[in-house]
Amino acid sequence: MPRTSSQRVLGVFSLAMINVALIASLRGLPLMAKYGLSLIFFLLAAALIFFIPAALVSAELATGWPQKGGIYLWVKQALGDRFGFLAIWLQWIQNIIFYPTALATTAAVFAYLFTPVLAQNKYYTLAVIIVVYWGATLLNLQGMKISGLVSSIGAIGGILVPGALIILAGIVWLIIGNPSQITFSVQNVFPDFTQVGSIAFFLGILLFFAGIEVSAVHAKEVKNPARDYPKAIFLSAAIIITLFILGALSIAIIVPQSEISLTAGLIETFRILFNKFNIPWMTPIIILLIVPGLITQVSSWIPGPSKGLLATAEDGSLPRFFQKTNKHKMPINIFIVQGCIVTLISLTFLLMPTVSSSFWILTALAAQLYLAMYILMFISAIVLRYKKPKVKRPYKIPGGNFGMWFVAGTGILGAVGSMIVGCFPPTQLKTGSFTFYISFLLVGILTMIVTPFIIYSCRKPSWKPKKK
């Protein structure tokens, strides 16, 4: 039975704000700023070879197959059940790894309300991660209408407003005659390609552009999927790219590169600026704006991959335990299981030498897994052009099959190249020995890719939901 208009609770603006909350996290700006002026090159490259192809492909797939399931349904239609399960598993598990890194930034920013030293305290960071994550989980159990409202409010107040302020801060810093920490020249726009380690952060930049496909699982909640979904995609894309470039440049201008913290660099920029103008009392105010935005991003991510995993459970790929939903149709048992896994992964912050090193190695692993999922998505989009040519796609990538090959092929090449670069530790950060770094990534990637195939091979007829 088609959904009535009263059941469709998301409009263009609401869905665009969910995308902004999902992707445009201010926590990524310090990592981008590490590159100095060459961040412009990396951000534009990431947008051209990854973000725009992903947005175009997901817009076509989501409007062609708006049914519940998202990436799981798309890959399943193209490559079969086994790879469909692998795709949603990769999206879900990388998300689990991502949560602690996102909340580590939240902890670092919040620490400046008390003392900046607290931002490097592992036990404090761990406590904030656990408390905030479980709080966001409880919020999402109240349903998509509440989740969508929180995303809109949080994106505006906690992302767009502080983002605009940090861009303004960079402009004001230069206007009043303060020296820039980066040299503006054409030569500095291009990175040093002779050292792979010097461009390893590019993998992390791609991860901060990822997630545009997650909102596809909400296509049935959009008032007019055929018209509104593509509009929301492109509106959010324009906002995100602009915010990333100008926001990261502002940090690079104000804070010396060697002093940029991956977790606390954002608030440190504001602190330096406010101290310069003798208004340090503004720091707590900006923190109270930024923290809700960071929490909103995590809250916005929780339902998407979880609802996708629920679709696989309802197809019989997971035990019935994972099929349970509450009165708001939210997958309560999946929420609880992923919360327990997030709590365990967060213990990494107690094992690594610094908070920043923990932040990066988890970011690198999450990015590798997510890019593997995107490769499956791009391949599926090409396959479906031939396998399901008659399926109506209200939004369709122009240029016929050649246009699809070009857009999706660009995305595949960008993802594969980034995965290779990401196997090298960044020279800008201490991550331990190369042997440990590469071993951690390879073992993590192999484990996370093999596990869904093992689960799939163990399926039982009793996992199928009972017919009503």
Range from 236-240, 341-345, 380-384 carrying the lowest mean pLDDT = 236-240
- Kindly state whether residue 171 falls inside one of the protein's structural domains: yes
Residue found by looking up tokens 């792979």 in the block: 196
Rounded-to-integer distance, Cα 302 and Cα 92, Å: 9
**Rounded mean pLDDT, 426-436:** 66
CB atoms within 10 A of CB 461: 6
* Higher pLDDT pick, 415 / 7: 415
Distance CA 360, CA 369 (A): 14
Q: How confident is the model at residue 80 (pLDDT cuts 50, 70, 90)?
A: very high
Q: How many CA atoms lie within 13 A of 37 on its CB side?
A: 12
Average pLDDT over residues 452-456: 90
Domain CATH code at residue 320: 1.20.1740.10
The mean-pLDDT minimum among 44-48, 195-199, 421-425 falls in: 195-199
| Higher-scoring residue by pLDDT: 190, 283 | 283
Task: State yes or no: pLDDT of 1 exceeds 50.
Answer: no
Least confidently predicted of 37-51, 302-316, 347-361: 347-361
Are 192 and 43 contacting, i.e. CB atoms less than 8 angstroms apart? no
Q: Is residue 3 part of a domain?
A: no
Half-sphere exposure of residue 88: CA atoms within 13 angstroms, side-chain side: 32
Q: How far is CA 445 from CA 124, 252, 266, 339, 380, in A?
A: 29, 32, 30, 21, 21
Place of tokens 């980034």: 418
- Greater confidence (434 vs 193) lies with 434
Residue 218 inside a domain? The answer is: yes
User: What are 247-275's pLDDT values in tens digits?
Assistant: 888 888 888 877 777 677 778 888 887 88
Whether residue 170 is predicted with pLDDT greater than 60 in this model: the reply is yes
Residue 5: its pLDDT value, please? 45
Structural domain boundaries, residue 387: 12-462
Mean pLDDT across 273-290: 83
Residue of higher predicted confidence among 299 and 380: 380
State the total domains in the chain: 1
**pLDDT recorded at residue 266:** 76
Select from 299, 303, 279 the least CA-distant residue to 291. 299
pLDDT given at position 382: 97
88 has pLDDT over 60: yes
Give yes or no for residue 77 having a pLDDT over 90: yes
pLDDT(79) > 90: yes
Q: Compute the mean pLDDT over every residue in the chain, rounded to the nearest whole number.
A: 80
Enumerate the β-bridge partners of residue 222: 10
The 10 Å CB-count burial string (b at 16+, else e) for 226-264 is eebbbbbbbbbbebbbebbbbbbbbbbbbbeeeebbbbb
Residue 460 has pLDDT above 50, yes or no: yes
Answer yes or no: is 453 within a domain. Answer: yes
- Who wins on pLDDT, 80 or 213? 80
CA 10 to CA 281: how far, in whole Å?
A: 38
1 domain-assigned: no
Instruction: Give the mean pLDDT of 307-324.
Output: 82
The reply to whether 454 falls in a domain is: yes
Q: What is the mean pLDDT of residues 423-445?
A: 75
% of the chain surpassing 90 pLDDT: 13
Average pLDDT over residues 339-363: 78
Distance CA 12, CA 57 (A): 18
Query: Once rounded to an integer, what is the mean pLDDT over residues 66-71?
Result: 74
Residue 387 has pLDDT above 60, yes or no: yes
pLDDT of residue 2: 46
Residue 206 is predicted with a pLDDT of 78
pLDDT recorded at residue 376: 96
For 76, other C-beta atoms within 10 Å of its C-beta total: 24
pLDDT per residue as tens digits for the range 196-225: 555 666 776 777 777 777 666 666 676 776
pLDDT at 76: 92
Q: Which token pair is 269?
A: 């920029």
Please tell me the least confidently modeled range out of 193-202, 250-259, 333-342, 399-408. Answer: 193-202
The arithmetic mean of pLDDT across residues 346-363, rounded, is 74
Q: What angle do CA 286, 289, 290 make, to 5 degrees?
A: 85
Kindly report which listed range (41-55, 213-227, 294-308) carries the lowest average pLDDT score: 213-227
- Distance (Å, whole) CA 252 – CA 37: 8
Under 8 Å between Cβ of 73 and 84: yes
Question: 3-state secondary structure string, the chain?
Answer: CCCCCCCCCECHHHHHHHHHHHHCCHHHHHHHHCCHHHHHHHHHHHHHHHHHHHHHHHHHHHHHCCCCCCHHHHHHHHHCHHHHHHHHHHHHHHHHHHHHHHHHHHHHHHHCCCCHHHHHCHHHHHHHHHHHHHHHHHHHCCCHHHHHHHHHHHHHHHHHHHHHHHHHHHHHHHHCCCCCCCCCCHHHHCCCCCCHHHHCCHHHHHHHHCCCCHHHHHHHHECCHHHHHHHHHHHHHHHHHHHHHHHHHHHHHHCCHHHCCCCCHHHHHHHHHHHHCCCCCHHHHHHHHHHHHHHHHHHHHCHHHHHHHHHHHHCCCCCHHHHCCCCCCCCHHHHHHHHHHHHHHCCHHHHCCCHHHHHHHHHHHHHHHHHHHHHHHHHHHHHHHHHCCCCCCCCCCCCHHHHHHHHHHHHHHHHHHHHHHCCCCCCCCCCCCHHHHHHHHHHHHHHHHHHHHHHHHCCCHHHCCCCC
Place of tokens 């399960």: 85
Reported confidence tier of residue 156, pLDDT bands at 50, 70, 90: low
Share above pLDDT 70 across residues of the chain, in percent, rounded to a whole number: 84
Is position 346 within any domain?
yes
Give the separation between CA 286 and CA 363, rounded to whole angstroms: 26
